[in-house]
Amino acid sequence: MKKFLTATDKKIEEFISKHSDVVLSSSIHVLADEIGVSSSSISKYIKKIGFRSYSRFKVNLAQQNSQSIDEQIDKDDSIKTIQSKLIKTVTRSYEMTIELIDDDTLDRVIDLLKNANKIYTFGVGASGLVCSDIYFKLSRIGKNIVYHTDSHIQLASLSNATEKDLVIGVSYSASTREVNAAFEIAKERGIPTVSITGQGNGNLDALSTYCLKVPRHEKSIRSAAITSRNDSLFLVDLLYLGLLQKDERRANDILESSYKLTHQLRK
């Protein structure tokens, strides 16, 4: 590959190798100014080394630079050091998640959430925590949403689901059997589906109407799904805020009513 690189390509490559942090925090136009080349030169270089876009390249670069939180923390680290390492890991992971977001897809998913008669959520383990967050957020603004921690009850809840409903599945591996089974049922019945999964292709992708991705930079066997959980919750927050924005008056009325009811407990 090296012999096909122009002098400008080599200049870009050298800067990236020495200043990856600058690349990760910069738009293509800002990076072009930093290097002293045109943004089109960077685009051509990115495609030449095998990436479709600058954003995809940044995600790959961030994955190369990142380590799992278990690998970063040493046994002699102080609590302050752990705090610092954790915030860096979470911040970097959020930045990678943003790079994976397709705004049009996110907007369509928000419309599905707004218009669905009933919403069914599926996820187990750490992904179940994300489902719980979806349930609590959407139920607070009056959405008809179903979530059960028991996988058998989860599947049984789909018995009366129709194409006017929505099924949401959370699975970092995209191969969780319980979630995939729910999506297979939904597909047979023509029910739209939204998955939140790790970057890359999995069985769940083919069953999904829309896929929302989080970075895949954790091992299959993890002591805690720290970054994948946080990234998924970040996506849920975006969906929730987008839904509030699209249905602001109704949501505010319901939130105010909910506040008045719960405030009575403080008297």
* pLDDT given for residue 232 in this prediction: 94
Phi, psi angle pair for 120, to nearest 5°: -110, 130
Burial of 248 (0-12, 13-18, 19+ CB in 10 A): exposed
pLDDT per residue of the chain (267 residues) written in tens, 0 to 9: 454 789 999 999 999 888 887 888 788 999 999 999 999 999 999 988 888 888 888 877 876 665 555 456 778 889 998 888 888 878 888 888 888 888 999 999 999 999 999 999 999 988 999 999 999 999 988 899 999 999 899 899 999 999 999 999 999 888 899 999 999 999 999 999 999 998 776 789 899 999 999 987 655 444 446 788 899 999 999 999 999 888 777 767 776 776 666 666 676
* pLDDT given for residue 251 in this prediction: 66
CATH number for the domain whose boundaries are 100-262: 3.40.50.10490
Is the CB of residue 110 less than 8 Å from the CB of residue 238? Answer: no
For the chain, give every residue range classified as CATH 1.10.10.10: 1-65
* pLDDT given for residue 155 in this prediction: 93
* pLDDT given for residue 189 in this prediction: 95
* pLDDT given for residue 259 in this prediction: 67
Q: For residue 189, which of 161, 168, 216 has the smallest C-alpha distance?
A: 161
Six token digits for residue 24: 């990760």
3-state secondary structure of 208: coil
* pLDDT given for residue 146 in this prediction: 96
Six token digits for residue 48: 């030449």
* pLDDT given for residue 1 in this prediction: 46
Q: Which CATH architecture has domain 1-65?
A: Orthogonal Bundle (1.10)
* pLDDT given for residue 181 in this prediction: 95
Q: How far is it, in rounded angstroms, from Cα 164 to Cα 227?
A: 33
For the chain, give every residue range classified as CATH 3.40.50.10490: 100-262
